[in-house]
Structures are given as structure tokens and as C-alpha cells.
Structure 1
Amino acid sequence: MKFVLIDGIRTLQLDLITTAALALLLLMLGNHIRKKYTVFQKMTIPASVIGGFLCSFIVLILRVTNVLYIEMDTTLQLPFMLAFFTCVGFGGSFKMLKTGGRLLIIYLASTWILAILQNIIGVGLAKTLGIDPLLGIMAGTVSLVGGHGNAAAFGPIAEQAGAQGASAVALASATYGLIVGSLLGGPVGDWILKKNKIDVTSDAEQAISTDKSETTTEMKNGFTTDRFLAHLTFVFVFMAGGVIFSELIAKLEIKNFAIPSYVGAMFLAIVFRNINDKKQLFKMDNQIVEMISDIGLGFFLTMAIMTLKIWELASLAGPLIIILLVQTVFLFFFVLFFVFPLLRGKKGSTDSYDAGVLSGGFMGWGLGIAATAFVCMSAIVEKYRKSSPKAFLIAPLCGAVFVDIVAIPTIIFFISLFS
């Protein structure tokens, strides 16, 4: 940690350890605030969102008043994200997927439809408001379904095609999406459950996890350092495998195709999980996996939110703000009148609760990222004390992996069409 002068402004540079310590303190603070002020629990706002936003707004105020700039080292954000998605993969039992087959197909089809519609809305409004249609694409699927990763990747491509400031617009739109998605996902899912008067029976005897149907009691009977270390080792091995797998795919230089390291890690973990179910190569304790997953998600999302460059939103001009607001309202009604009814099926269906949880996750994902969906759903199941293993398996798989089957070609097609 050190103070330096950058462009005449005093800047505090936080190193890796200090940034990590701050993220953990903010996560704990978020948990404390959430427990002390029950309004956050009633609104299903996650602890990582509370702590992260508190920091990002303080950083924003210090910056806009030119009192102090703060720069943080986010190196550890990727490893914790990798750990989280690897643990999601360890919960990816094909038996569970079979039981949620209908929900998986509907949710996946909904992500594909949204990926197309967000671009149509973005382009249509851009033309109506008299701005470059490519900027409408940047404020559509690129930033909302794609997040900061796609924003950074496609922004320069749009600029090369003639759209000035496309990168700034894409990154600012992605920032908007992460903020609003994190805040709306949980409350929307909760509101849908209440509005439809879905009877939710609390599952107090089971811990909230991504695979409740196979929860073990080993944590209660004898949690040991050796057991935890064995699971942590497996997680890190598959994290490394995901990185290697991603690099091998990149070396193939397949046009417009890439697999992020976290996706590779999740797929490898899914493959191992299902082989292990049959061969019993390793006795997997789901509660330990859940513990590592919770830590990874909490740390990763807290760091992602606390380091948001909220001042980038200043680059969004009036027309682009209108586009993003319309995208948000459209997504809400899309979830309410399309996604939830299809997921629920007939009234009284056993999928009703899962449909509500998935709908909250879809609202968070449709503006943010896959991890946003996960944390929004976590807030819902924590409030109702009832798990939703189908939702926690389906949302990350569809929102982080399979959506790109349609989303990436759609983005490329629209950019080519309006260049």
C-alpha cells in the first residue's frame, strides 16, 4: 500500500493483500448489516452486494471530489471465481439434470431468446434516438448478457467498425448491468413467489446448497483438516485444469470461439463428478464443497462490486441511459410473463418454487453475470430456508456456458450487419 501522485491527484494504491483484506472485511460488514437491519433480508439483498457497493460509492465520492483516487489489485478475483465455478461443477450431477430436464430446456431457450431480443431492442432504440446502432448493440447483448468480458472484447471491434466510444459505452453499460442486476434479482424473485402465492415449506434441517438431495452429515460427525485439505486440493487441481484447457483451446485459433478458464474448470469438474458417482474414486463431501463455493462466490463478487468504476457511467449519454432503462423494464416483464410461467408450468406444480428462484436468478443474470444470478438465488433460498438444487445447477450452466452458443454469433452478426 502506497500513496503516489497521478496527474496531480493523490492516489492510494492498494496491493494484493490489502485489497483482499478489504474485500473480506466488506463481506463480513455486509453480513453484519444484513443481520442487524432485517430490511435487507426482506429485500433479499446479498451481503456481498451490500459491502461491495458501500466501498464503491465511497471510492466514487472521493474520486469526484478529487480528494483521493484509490486503485486496487484485483489479481485474486480470478482464482476465487475459478474456485466458485469449479465447485458448481462438482455439484453437476447428471442425475440432477435429468430431474430438471424441462426447467433446463426452458431456461436455456429463454437465455437464447433474450440474447437476440436485447440486440433488437438496443438497435431499434438507437435508430429511434438518432445514435449509431452499434452503440445500441454495446448497450444490449454485448454488455448485459456478456458482461465486462464481452464488453472489453467487442468494444474495440465496434470502434474499428466506426462507432466512436463503443468501448466506453460497453464497459459503462456492463457496470450498470452488474449494479442493477445485483440489486434487482433477489427482490424480483421474492416478489414473484409472493405474487403467485407459492407455498414454500422451509427445509430447516438441510443446509442451503447446490445439491441438497445428496447432502451428507460428515461435517457434523467429524470435520477434519485432512478432509478439508483433500477437497481444497481437488478444487485447485481442477482450477488449474480449467486454465490449461482454456489455453489449449486458444491455441487452436478457432475463429470467434474461446472457452474462459472458469468454464473449462466447471466442465472438467462436472465430468469428474459423474465419473466419481459411478466409480467412487473420491468420497465427496457436499458440505465442504459448499463451504469453498460460498467463500469463493462471496469474495469474488464483493471484490467485483467494490472495484466497479461507477464514474464510467458518466460516459452514458441520455439516449444510452434510455436504452438501458428500457432493457431493464423489458427484462422484468420478460421474466414475469414469459420465463416464470413457462418454468412453473401448471399451477400447483412441484416446480413452482424452483421456477421462482430461477426467475430471480434470470433477472440478475440478464443484466449482470452468471455469478450475479447465483448470489441473487442464494439470497432467496436463504430467506425461505429452502434449497433449490435444480436452480443452482441450471442457472450457472446455461448463463455461463450454453448461452454463448447463440449469444456470440448474434453479437457478431449484428455488428457485421450495422457496420
Structure 2
Amino acid sequence: MEITLNGYYTLIFATLVLLLGRFLVKKVKFLEDFNIPEPVAGGLIAAVIVYALNFIWGYSFNFHQGLQTATMLMFFASIGLSADFGRLKAGGTPLLIFTIVVSVFIILQDVVGVTMASALGLDPLLGLVTGSIALTGGHGTAGAWGAVLEQEYGVVGATTLGIAVATYGLVAGGIVGGPVARRLINKLGLKPTPANANPSDVEKVAGAQSLYSTKHSENDDDGTQEMFEKPDNIRLITASSTIETLALFAGALAFADLMTIVAEGTSFELPTFVWALAGGVILRNSLTMIFNFDMFDRAIDVIGNASLSLFLAMALLSLKLWELTDLAGPVLVILLVQTFVMILYVYFVTFKVMGKNYDAAVLSAGHCGFGMGATPTAIANMQAVTDRYLPSPKAFLIVPMVGAFFVDIVNATVLQIFTKLPFM
């Protein structure tokens, strides 16, 4: 028996999922420790309930797809509208180098995923799902690309698998980041701060903390440090700034809709959400560089995070868990290999390329976080390291900028190239 829900009821159920997720994250320490997003915590419970209703009584639910698509496009537009290339100057050469290091790993992640999927007899496109789509991309990208793979390429269960893989990545990224950083720091001969009580060390720590505080407060002025990695922070926005920001979102979405139609059947054909991201980037940088427009980042942040939460809640409500039964074993093998590759890459590439120093070790912990999970995991990893050793202003300046938006732009480009390869 199929039950179809319109937009109103879909929105009601989505908000109930978010409220359930908030309750679970506050009450279950494991969910809080590994930064499991509220939509994922509540959504997985909802998905299990939907599965039980289907298994026992044969009920299936069709939720309003238009609302889900709209919130997905809003989220990707928010990433584009946050991607201020003028901030590259703030990060300097290390930011550029770290972006290149991360970009190379995205390609490696997809190569490993596709190779392993083919070797295990799976569709190579599922290798992308167990690669950068869900791991580097996270839940938002997993849901967006999952829909594309299902509708345009006929890959059954891509969305369900993507959400499951992204959830695994959040946990795995949180588990491996700290130990890898500690091993690298031990190689440098540094000891945990509490063990060093002599005056010179105290002075060193105090100086570093002062530098971090200055950097942190400077970046908080324009919202850079709060974009996406701190969704629960209070944002002071006004009605007028919200309306201005919604106009920017409307422009990005209109651009996405127009380009999807114009580029159809050409070599520039891209998924609509990629055009939404691109539209946001173009709007952001055109307005700030040419017209010196004062972009209201806090409003973009709020609307983007709200859109992502609603999209994830609706995507998880629509999961068909029964589609994953035959994939569980091979996918687990691929994910274990991906985790091992992540550890090796940050140990032998990220750490060495970024300078083989303390900042490089903290950056490596952050890379584990969003290379397997998401930017909040990266921030949590780095905080765990810096709380135990020394502050790292450089890492806390670079990782949020790369993890919050630059990595999504690179990932979308890499994935578009991979899906067009002849052997896919």
C-alpha cells in the first residue's frame, strides 16, 4: 500500500525528524562525541521505522520531491554564496597548497572507490558513492548525487547507500583523526601541554593562545569561522538582510534552472545542484569584487544550514533500506580500504607537504575529519589535538575555508569528470 504525502505533510514529518534528532544528540553521548548531525540521528530512526512498516505491513511512503529538491538547491547555492575567493589572500600560500593536497586526495578517493567496486563486481558508479560523493562530500552531496545517479544513470539505491556511507565516514573520520595527529606530534617530540609546567612553556602556550584569539576574533567578524562548521551558534540577522539574502538565493537558483535547460545535450550538461553552486560563486564574487557589495554571511549561513537540515531529513525519510541488503559486505570492504588510504595519505602526504611541523599535524587531523566525514568532524578533531597540546591558528584559519566551501567546488568538478569517463 502506497501513501503519498503532499508538501505540507512532508515538511511536518521533516521537522519532527529534526526535533527527534536534536533530542537524541543531546541524550546519547556517542552521537554527540562523533558530531553526528541531528538530521542524520533522527532520520536514521525514521528510516528504520519506515522499513519496519514496509516489512511488516507492506506500507511504502512517497514524500514530496519538489520540496526536497528545493532545499537541496538552496543548500548548494549557500555554499557558492559563501565562497569568497578574496579570502584566499587571508590564507595565503598554505591555503592554496592545502587545497591542492585535498584535491589530489579527492581524485585518489574516487580511483580507489571505482577500482574496488569494479573488482568486487559492483557498478563502478557505486564506487563514486563510496568515494568522494559520500566521504569527502558528506550527507548533502550524497543525497544530491544519489538522486542524479538513480534518475539519470539507473543506479538503484544510490541515495540510500550514500547516506549510509556518509554516516560511516563521520564516525570513521572522528576516530582516526586524533590518533594520527598524536602519532605525528610524537614524531616531533612534543609533549602534552599539562605535562610542561616550566615558565618558558607556559609563556609559549600563552603567546600561541593570544595569537589564536586574535585570529579567531578577526575571522568571526565576517563569519568565516562560523560558516557551516558551527550550525548551532546564534546568528544576529534582520528582516532586511534576510530578504536581500533570499534575493541572492533566488538569483542563484534562477541561474541554475536556466543553465540546466541551456546546457542540456551539450558537453556542459551538469546536474542542477552544480549549477546552483556555480551561480552562487559567480554572484558572490561578482558583487563583492566589482560592486563592493557587503555580503551578509550570517544570513547565508542560517538559510544554508536550515536548508541542509530539511533536505537531509526528507532524504532520510525517503530511504529504502531494503535496497542495501546485497551491498552490505562489498561496501564494508571498500570503506575499510578507504579508511586505510585516508590514514596513509595524511601521514605521508598531507603532513609532509604542509611542512612536517605542529601545524601540519593539526591540519592532518582536520583533513581526516572532512576527508571522511564533514567540516564539523574536522573542527572537533583539531580541537581535541589543540586542547591537549598547543593552539594552531594556521590550521583553524585554513581548514574551515577549505572544508566549508572550496572542497565542494573541487569535488563537484572531479565527480562531473568521472561520470563522463567511458568505462563508467
- The aligned residue for residue 311 of structure 1 is 322
- The aligned residue for residue 267 of structure 1 is 278
1:79 aligns with 2:70: yes
Instruction: Give, as a single letter, the amino acid of the residue that structure 2 aligns with 1:342.
Output: V
Offset, 1:374: 5.6
SS in 2 for 1:247: helix
Contact in 2 for aligned 1:107/1:339 (Cα 8 Å): no
Match of residue 367, structure 2, among 355, 358, 361 = 358
1:116 aligns with 2:111: yes
- The aligned residue for residue 394 of structure 1 is 406
Contact in 1 for aligned 2:260/2:271 (Cα 8 Å): yes
1:325 aligns with 2:332: yes
Distance 1:116 1:144 in 2: 8
In structure 2, the CA distance between the partners of 1:408 and 1:69, relative to structure 1 (3 Å rule), is closer
1:211 aligns with 2:224: yes
Distance 2:382 2:74 in 1: 21
Offset, 1:279: 3.5
Distance 2:295 2:111 in 1: 39
Offset, 1:214: 10
CA root-mean-square deviation: 3.5
Paired residues for 1:19-34 under 5 Å: 19-34=10-25
Instruction: Give, as a single letter, the amino acid of the residue that structure 2 aligns with 1:395.
Output: V
TM-score, normalisation: structure 2: 0.74
Q: After the TM superposition, which of the residue ranges 271-280 and 385-394 deviates more from structure 2?
A: 385-394
Instruction: Give, as a single letter, the amino acid of the residue that structure 1 aligns with 2:32.
Output: Q
- The aligned residue for residue 236 of structure 1 is 250
CA deviations on 1:8-35 (whole Å, 9 max, x unpaired) are x3x4322111111211221122122212
Distance 1:355 1:236 in 2: 37
1:184 aligns with 2:169: yes
SS in 1 for 2:249: helix
SS in 2 for 1:81: helix
Contact in 2 for aligned 1:83/1:239 (Cα 8 Å): yes
Gaps of 5+ in 1: 1-8, 127-134, 156-166, 365-372
Paired residues for 1:9-408 under 5 Å: 9=1, 11-66=2-57, 68-97=59-88, 99=91, 100-126=95-121, 135-141=122-128, 144-145=131-132, 147-152=145-150, 155=153, 167=154, 170-172=155-157, 174-189=159-174, 191-197=176-182, 211-212=224-225, 223-250=237-264, 253-254=265-266, 257-314=268-325, 316=326, 320-339=327-346, 341-344=348-351, 345-364=354-373, 373=374, 388-399=400-411, 401-404=412-415, 406-408=417-419
Instruction: Give, as a single letter, the amino acid of the residue that structure 2 aligns with 1:148.
Output: G
SS in 2 for 1:123: helix
Offset, 1:72: 1.6
CA deviations on 1:230-285 (whole Å, 9 max, x unpaired) are 111211221121221222111xx225x52122211222221222233333453212
Offset, 1:220: 9.0
Instruction: Give, as a single letter, the amino acid of the residue that structure 2 aligns with 1:188.
Output: G
Distance 1:328 1:61 in 2: 26
In structure 2, the CA distance between the partners of 1:214 and 1:279, relative to structure 1 (3 Å rule), is farther
Offset, 1:80: 1.1
Offset, 1:327: 1.0
Instruction: Give, as a single letter, the amino acid of the residue that structure 2 aligns with 1:105.
Output: I
Q: After the TM superposition, which of the residue ranges 260-269 and 48-57 deviates more from structure 2?
A: 260-269
Offset, 1:136: 4.2
- The aligned residue for residue 163 of structure 1 is none
Instruction: Give, as a single letter, the amino acid of the residue that structure 1 aligns with 2:61.
Output: I
Contact in 2 for aligned 1:210/1:389 (Cα 8 Å): no
CA deviations on 1:32-86 (whole Å, 9 max, x unpaired) are 2212333311122111110111111100011101163332223211111111111
In structure 2, the CA distance between the partners of 1:299 and 1:210, relative to structure 1 (3 Å rule), is farther
Distance 1:195 1:93 in 2: 31
Distance 1:52 1:346 in 2: 41
